[in-house]
Amino acid sequence: MLDEWIEDSVMQSIAAENNLSETAFLVKRGECYDLRWFTPEVEVDLCGHATMGSAYVLFEFVEKHAQALRFNTQGGMLTVTQGDDALWMDFPSRPGGRVTNYPCLYNALGINRFETFRSADILVVLDSEDTIRNLSPDFELLKNARIEAGMDSDSFGVIVTAPGVDCDFVSRFFAPNAGISEDPVTGRAHCVLIPYWSKRLGKRSMTARQLSRRGGLIWCEDAGERVKIGGKAKLYLQGDILL
């Protein structure tokens, strides 16, 4: 939480020191908050779990009587609402278009049968949950996807997904160009995943699991040009940063 913005280089240094997927910075502006996110290496234009974490802190410690919060970001205006047992994020839908498989993905992911879609991130659709769970990517090779896909920013990621066993779909998210080998739970990825699986399954409301080491359960709703992403947050740490 900041009173005013500090230098970008300082925020980037804080994010590098934290060495987490994203560090969120907020400044209150009237009835909403300006919100920015930094990985250990770059600033990104959209981030889910750091938005949910920011909203959780505000609901618990700052805006204790609020039912909804609005965030002005590079990815547009985002809203987080308190539900009965979860926080719900209102995010843009980012459906991907089908593309020819990029050659680097075969070796980087160690697979030879998949479908590829491109949005703000690359979506790779595989056959089973076990395939997703057992992937062991070569992250140096995976960096080449940026060149082959002609992506104009290092903040993009590679999403892998498949039908779930005890949920509608599962996924993992890799962003080595942004300094994130694997993200634990990724709201941004579900902006691509939700429209894909909603169309494929013929369902608007779905449940999903992200199969990172930490793991995460995500409630999903396709709302046309927007997606609703539900999840829970917990307090992990309180402290001061000394500059």
204-209 LR contacts (CB < 8 Å, sep 24+): 206/167, 206/168, 206/169, 207/164, 207/167, 207/168, 208/164, 208/167, 208/168, 208/169, 208/170, 208/171, 209/164, 209/166, 209/167, 209/170, 209/171
Query: Which of helix, strand or coil describes residue 229?
Result: strand
Looking at residue 176, the DSSP 8-state letter turns out to be G
Instruction: Give the relative orientation of helices 187-201 and 49-57 as an angle to the nearest 10 degrees.
Output: 120
- Is 43 considered catalytic here? no
Helices and strands (H and E) in the chain: how many: 7, 15
Q: From the candidates 22, 43, 129, 182, which is the catalytic residue?
A: 22
The catalytic residue positions are 22
